[in-house]
Amino acid sequence: MRLAMTDLFRAHWTDAIHDEWITALLRQQKHSPEALQRVRELMDAHVRDAKVVGYEALIDSLDLPDLNDRHVLAAAIRCNAYAIVIFSFNRFALLV
C-alpha cells in the first residue's frame, strides 16, 4: 500500500475486489469485520484514483475458465491496466 501511494505505479481495485479479500480474511477468523472495513476505507481514501467503476457492462462479454474472475478482467480493461497482480491465497487482485 505504501508503494500504491507513490507514483511508482498506479493501483486500482473495485468494490467487488474489496469484497473478495475481506471475505477471504474473514474466513480465517483473525480479523474483525470492523477492522477490515476500516482498511477498505483507508485504501479508498489514500490511494489516488484507485476505485474502478463503470466496468460491469464488460463482464458478460468476457470468456474465462473461471467465470467468477471476469469482473477483475473487466475492471482491468476499464482502467487500462498494464498488469493484473493476484495474491491467490486470499483471492486478492490488484490492477496496475
The string of pLDDT tens digits covering residues 13-50 is 999 999 999 998 999 999 999 999 999 999 999 888 89
How far apart (Å, rounded) are the C-alpha atoms in residues 12 and 78?
Answer: 10
User: What H or E segment, with its residue span, contains residue 92?
Assistant: strand 92-95
CA distances from 62 to 23, 24, 26, 55, 72 (A): 24, 24, 29, 12, 10
The pLDDT, as a whole number, for residue 3 is: 76
| Cell numbers that stand for 61 in this block | 462479454
The pLDDT, as a whole number, for residue 4 is: 75
- The answer to whether the CB of 12 falls within 8 A of the CB of 95 is yes
3-class secondary structure, 93: strand
